């Protein structure tokens, strides 16, 4: 509806200029005032004149009546009807507008409807997923992974060049603990056989034993110090643990259809931190506080940002600053987006401010995208206590349930395993991305795997239905062209209006860094199509123009729905 809204804004601006010559109101301001009414009987777009009352020094109903007289005489392009209701002016798009400005471009562009090149020549770096190695993916990792990748796909759909970075947690004292545990209780054979699960067992055992013998903590710190200083045996074990972890992670990424451009983790920036520490000293930003080196941020209502511990070792802010500088020098980014839990918001606010104080001009291009926590039965997830739901187990349970349904309803279907995985994994992703990212989620297995109602499987089944309809129509569906319509049934019109909103939803999702906007749009589109499908026969329709229209509407649903699902990391099999 963006084009229609621009037409309205232009006409309203001209009417204001004629009636109120002294008023200075831009077309952009008017565009921003336009609203979508909650009820389609109030029009497709509404202009609330209340927002002009102070500027024009008149009562809203009086302003509305004066503007309505002008707009009724010369309606905006694409308007079939203009309506006055109190202080509102309501605009109804014409059937011809929907046919020419929505359906025709959609039939021409297909899945590229809504794609633009506005980001051409600009680079977006996205830091997401970033698991701590030697630990398996659990449900708590799903947020950063699918939110981050969805934002990457959304930016690419707007023409940006995107760099996906998996900033692995591959450094720190946890490796001292793991090396200590491996030498005391592990074996190469066990690790080779059991993979990352055996590493987790060793990590959990270390913490159990450390509660009995605190000296184990000192041993672990000593082993990590040896690792930092390049001890070959410890480095070999560390690399081995990383390789085992990545092999496990790749299985999950493959299920989600996710790839990365870089796996440079914390260890990569070890030799890049001294330069930034020295710059902080040169700019007199660092001071000593109880033996540690800090940047005082009290002026900005934040606690101090720790740069070096008492023993001179670095911390997370030091590494993040070094990483940001490296990324700016390497990619020359226009945005650098970090997708992490909301619990890290202060950390990012602190080091973002430090980067600004250091004089780096890319500081304003750094964005933190926080998301809520995931708990199980109200309990926080923790690898060291074993209180986790592993993603691979969750996906397997969901896939198994989907496959059982398919066996019952369509036992002879081809590619059953592939479709079951797409729907099973998609159900979990859709469930997660249905809520605003900042909301905390208490994960309930039964809700995630409820395949009735507004769920991922419902959206995927709707997509498969469009594919089935078009497949049965064969060459007729492939060659059908959108007719120039002069009349539309209500469900046909509603579906075309829903089509028109897709580009705006992509824009809103990017602006708010909020993939759930696309998820909710998918449900709107599925609802609109299924109401149309129930009300408007397609294959049995004898009116040639209506038949062509309905085929085009079905094809348009397939194209937009398929692309929208892709944008939130969900696959869409043609048969389910």
Pick from 153-157, 201-205, 446-450, 477-481: least confident = 446-450
Q: Do 123-282+315-385 and 391-440+448-567 show the same overall fold?
A: no
Q: Does residue 280 register a pLDDT over 70? A: yes
Confidence band for 113, pLDDT divided at 50, 70 and 90: very high
* pLDDT per residue as tens digits for the range 27-56: 999 999 999 999 889 999 999 999 899 899
Residues ≥6 apart with Cβ < 8 Å to 76 = 4, 7, 8, 10, 11, 12, 82, 91
The rounded Cα 486 to chain-centroid distance in angstroms is: 39
Confidence band for 114, pLDDT divided at 50, 70 and 90: very high
Q: Does residue 378 register a pLDDT over 70? A: no
Q: Does residue 447 register a pLDDT over 70? A: yes
Confidence band for 355, pLDDT divided at 50, 70 and 90: very high
pLDDT at 486: 74
The rounded Cα 279 to chain-centroid distance in angstroms is: 35
Q: Does residue 370 register a pLDDT over 60? A: yes
Read off the pTM: 0.93
* pLDDT per residue as tens digits for the range 65-80: 999 999 999 999 999 9
In the chain, % helix, strand, coil (3-state, to 5) comes to 60, 10, 25
Confidence band for 445, pLDDT divided at 50, 70 and 90: low
Q: Does residue 523 register a pLDDT over 90? A: yes
Q: Does residue 482 register a pLDDT over 80? A: no
Structure token digits, residue 199: 């590493």
pLDDT at 267: 94
Residue with tokens 């009086």: 62
Mean pLDDT (whole number) for 420-444: 91
* pLDDT per residue as tens digits for the range 161-196: 999 999 999 998 899 999 999 999 999 999 999 999
CB 8 within 8 A of CB 47: yes
The rounded Cα 458 to chain-centroid distance in angstroms is: 20
pLDDT at 382: 54
Q: 275: closest CA among 236, 235, 237, 325?
A: 325
The domains of the chain are located at 2-93, 123-282+315-385, 391-440+448-567
Give the CATH class of 391-440+448-567.
mainly alpha
Q: Is 524 helix (H, G, I), strand (E, B) or coil?
A: helix
**Residue 304 belongs to what H/E stretch?**
none
Residues ≥6 apart with Cβ < 8 Å to 358 = 276, 279, 280, 283, 285, 321
Confidence band for 442, pLDDT divided at 50, 70 and 90: confident
Which is higher by pLDDT, 26 or 389?
26
Q: Does residue 306 register a pLDDT over 60? A: yes
Pick from 60-64, 153-157, 247-251, 380-384: least confident = 380-384
Mean pLDDT (whole number) for 106-131: 96
Q: Does residue 398 register a pLDDT over 80? A: yes
Residue-averaged pLDDT of the chain: 93
Q: Does residue 376 register a pLDDT over 70? A: no
Mean pLDDT (whole number) for 297-310: 95
pLDDT at 172: 87
Q: Does residue 544 register a pLDDT over 70? A: yes
Q: Does residue 469 register a pLDDT over 60? A: yes
Q: Does residue 538 register a pLDDT over 70? A: yes
The rounded Cα 350 to chain-centroid distance in angstroms is: 24
User: Domain 2-93: which topology?
Assistant: Gyrase A; domain 2 (3.30.1360)
The rounded Cα 367 to chain-centroid distance in angstroms is: 14
pLDDT at 380: 61
CA angle 313, 319, 325 (to 5 degrees): 135
pLDDT at 103: 93
Q: Does residue 383 register a pLDDT over 70? A: no
Confidence band for 413, pLDDT divided at 50, 70 and 90: confident
pLDDT at 26: 94
pLDDT at 377: 64
Give the CATH class of 123-282+315-385.
alpha beta
pLDDT at 379: 61
* pLDDT per residue as tens digits for the range 316-335: 999 999 999 999 999 999 99
Q: Does residue 131 register a pLDDT over 90? A: yes
């Amino acid at each position: 509806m963006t084009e229609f809204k621009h037409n309205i804004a232009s006409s309203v601006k001209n009417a204001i200029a004629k009636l109120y010559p002294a008023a200075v109101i831009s077309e952009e301001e008017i565009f921003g005032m336009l609203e979508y009414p909650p009820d389609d009987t109030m029009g497709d777009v509404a202009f609330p004149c209340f927002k002009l009352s102070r500027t024009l020094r008149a009562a809203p109903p009086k302003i509305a009546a004066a503007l309505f007289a002008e707009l009724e005489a010369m309606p905006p392009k694409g308007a079939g009807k203009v309506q006055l209701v109190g202080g509102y002016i309501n605009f109804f798009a014409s059937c011809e507008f929907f046919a020419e400005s929505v359906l025709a471009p959609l039939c021409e562009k297909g899945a590229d409807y809504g794609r633009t090149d506005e980001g051409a020549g600009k680079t977006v770096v996205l830091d997401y997923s970033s698991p701590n190695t030697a630990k398996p993916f659990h449900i708590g990792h799903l947020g950063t992974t699918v939110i981050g990748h969805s934002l990457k796909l959304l930016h690419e759909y707007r023409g940006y060049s995107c760099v996906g970075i998996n900033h692995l947690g591959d450094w720190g004292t946890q490796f001292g603990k793991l090396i200590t545990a491996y030498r005391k209780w592990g074996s190469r054979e066990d690790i080779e056989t059991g993979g990352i699960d055996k590493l987790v067992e060793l990590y959990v055992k270390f913490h159990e034993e450390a509660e009995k013998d605190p000296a184990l903590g000192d041993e672990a710190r000593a082993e990590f110090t040896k690792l930092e200083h390049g001890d070959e045996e410890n480095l070999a074990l560390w690399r081995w643990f990383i390789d085992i972890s990545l092999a496990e992670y790749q299985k999950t990424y493959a299920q989600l259809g996710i790839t990365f451009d870089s796996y440079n983790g914390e260890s990569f920036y070890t030799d890049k931190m001294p330069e930034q520490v020295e710059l902080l000293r040169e700019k007199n930003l660092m001071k000593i506080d109880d033996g540690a080196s800090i940047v005082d941020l009290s002026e900005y209502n934040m606690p101090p940002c720790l740069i070096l511990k008492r023993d001179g070792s670095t911390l997370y802010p030091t590494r993040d600053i070094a990483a940001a500088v490296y990324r700016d020098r390497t990619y020359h980014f226009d945005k650098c987006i970090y997708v992490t839990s909301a619990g890290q918001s202060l950390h990012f606010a602190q080091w973002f401010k430090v980067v600004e104080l250091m004089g780096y001009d890319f500081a304003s291009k750094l964005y933190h995208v926080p998301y809520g926590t995931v708990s199980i039965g109200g309990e926080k997830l923790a690898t060291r206590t074993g209180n986790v739901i592993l993603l691979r187990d969750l996906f397997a349970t969901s896939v198994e349930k989907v496959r059982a349904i398919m066996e019952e309803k369509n036992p002879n279907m081809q590619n059953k395993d592939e479709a079951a995985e797409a729907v099973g994994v998609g159900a979990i992703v859709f469930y997660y991305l249905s809520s605003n990212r900042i909301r905390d989620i208490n994960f309930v297995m039964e809700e995630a795997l409820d395949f009735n109602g507004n769920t991922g499987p419902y959206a995927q089944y709707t997509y498969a239905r469009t594919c089935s309809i078009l497949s049965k129509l064969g060459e007729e569906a492939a060659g059908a062209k959108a007719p120039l319509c002069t009349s539309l049934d209500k469900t046909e019109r509603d579906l075309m209006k829903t089509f028109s909103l897709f580009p705006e939803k992509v824009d809103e999702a990017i602006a708010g860094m909020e993939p759930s906007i696309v998820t909710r749009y998918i449900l709107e589109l599925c609802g609109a199509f299924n109401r149309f499908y129930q009300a408007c026969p397609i294959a049995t329709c004898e009116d040639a123009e209506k038949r062509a229209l309905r085929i085009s509407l079905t094809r348009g649903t397939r194209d937009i729905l398929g692309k929208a699902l892709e944008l939130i990391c969900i696959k869409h099999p043609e048969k389910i």
